[in-house]
Chain A
């Protein structure tokens, strides 16, 4: 049974991956970009799933990690000539991980609602700093920059097309997924889950909970920063809006819609949310959040496991 299940998992995994690889060949330009965007937001949502789904901590601070990832990549792309893809991603990840370490140090001392509020306030601090520090961050207008070429130093350097960009993003997201999957199944991931289930008991067994939580937040911030770097490369601009806490809220919506604690669920949730937004903005223009918000509330009440959990239950029946 177990071996069959593992085989089934890898078959589904390869089929989905193959479909995603083939997608840009058949999709028109708009949907190709759309799919790439889903993957990037999915990576961000997946990074916050480590906290929400595994450690049981709702973070309202992911906009800060994501935004710092974008601004970090922007800094690399604007200051280094010629712009370098890998340096941009590296800067984004370092900026986000640094901020995450800072936030984690303070916020992990608190639990539940207090953790959520602290991370929210931290993301607002970074929002205010970025919004008002106009000389460096461009303030409200943000920064624009050009897209670096896809290059391996010493081998080749070609400009991105929307196809190669999609494949590049897909590769990064798939790798991140595999790494995260490995991490959540490692002893470290098990300790996180036991913190979620019963923090006092985990502490009593002798695990230094604070350290585990700090590492979890940093890890989560690191991948959020990677998502930010990818987003910067795709959209070629940085704006303070990405640091605003509403982005964190959307990330949580992705998680809840897709199903927390599943890693794939958040990507499904991101796809579902973005499709809903696309569909509803045809009728409701910029007020699409009214129907989407109502659907979200209904899902919180009636479908707490999210789409993936719901599907799994229906299939098992």
Chain B
């Protein structure tokens, strides 16, 4: 097959649709991954339960939406509820592990993820729930009716991540968080309540996972296993973008999502995942500190 045939085989309109799809998915992924990278970069905790917090956030969203009928209240309430859950998990499970080998936190959070996932299965059953999207407008994109809601998700994710960045840059707690990242002992010596800061970080990360769960809920059904896919993807993003690097994980999210949506033009979406796996492996081989980080000297 010559180049021209190949180009003809990829209709331009499909490519554009997939580009938009990829960016939208990338922004949600960025929201999940930035919570994960925040928790890792600051606390040295690889949070295996992140996908489950995402999933529980979506379920809380379903419940609140059914009770109040307002999507935005559901979004806010789910974030706060899961942030509190995250704080509780941190105080009960992760605080006793402070100062031990960071690998033990993988084990503990893996245990948490098993418990939460099975709890959701027990409580909500195996049937997927649906979150009604807050508005159902469409605009025409070639032959497709493209929902406005998807674009709104992308913007909202960007907004939340921007707010996080501002908070880290200028908020009192944000400055404390950054100080704790740089030198935990020194921060403690300067009077920063380090354990409380760490709990706050975990709560913020959890809340962000929950928010992305609710935002993503209308696109696919909400079920107990939805967290698994996301936590894997978020891991890939966090490693490719450079652990603990907020800008890098956003860039990596969009890159990986675009790659997967282009790949799904040729192969089934289940197989498209392999492309992002390959990107991860190549990154680890040639730039183990992350694609979007300057090479360390």
Contacts and interface: CB of A to CB of B under 8 A. Distances in A.
Interface of A: 58, 106, 109-110, 112-114, 116-118, 120-122, 124-125, 128-129, 131-132, 249, 252-253, 256, 286-290, 292-294, 296-297, 300-301, 304
B265 interface: no
B235 A120 contact: yes
Range of interface residues on chain B? Answer: 35 or more
A289 B277 contact: no
16 contacts: A58-B106, A106-B281, A109-B288, A116-B103, A121-B235, A122-B277, A128-B274, A129-B274, A132-B271, A289-B114, A294-B111, A294-B115, A297-B111, A300-B104, A300-B108, A301-B96
Interface in B97-140: 97, 100, 102-104, 106-108, 110-112, 114-115, 117-119, 121-122
A112 B46 CA distance: 11
B72 to A, nearest CB: 32
A287 B271 contact: no
A290 B273 contact: no
A249 B103 contact: no
Instruction: Classify the interface of chain B: helix, strand, loop or mixed.
Output: helix
Contacts of A301: 93, 96-97, 108
B268 interface: yes
Given A106-B284, A121-B281, A252 B110 contact: yes
Contacts of A253: 110-111
A288 B114 CA distance: 10
A58 B103 contact: yes
Given A116-B103, A117-B239, 20 more contacts: A58-B103, A109-B285, A110-B288, A116-B46, A118-B284, A121-B235, A122-B277, A125-B277, A128-B271, A129-B274, A252-B107, A253-B110, A286-B121, A293-B115, A294-B115, A296-B111, A297-B111, A301-B93, A301-B96, A301-B97
Contacts of B280: 118, 121
A174 B236 CA distance: 39
Closest 8 CB pairs of A and B: A293-B115, A293-B114, A297-B111, A289-B118, A296-B111, A287-B122, A300-B108, A293-B111
Contacts of B117: 289
Given A110-B288, A287-B118, A124 B232 contact: yes
Contacts of A117: 46, 235, 239
A288 to B, nearest CB: 8
Contacts of B111: 253, 293-294, 296-297, 300
Nearest to A106: B281
Contact of A121 (B112, B270, B271, B277): B277
Given A113-B103, A128-B270, A289 B115 contact: yes
A296 B100 CA distance: 17
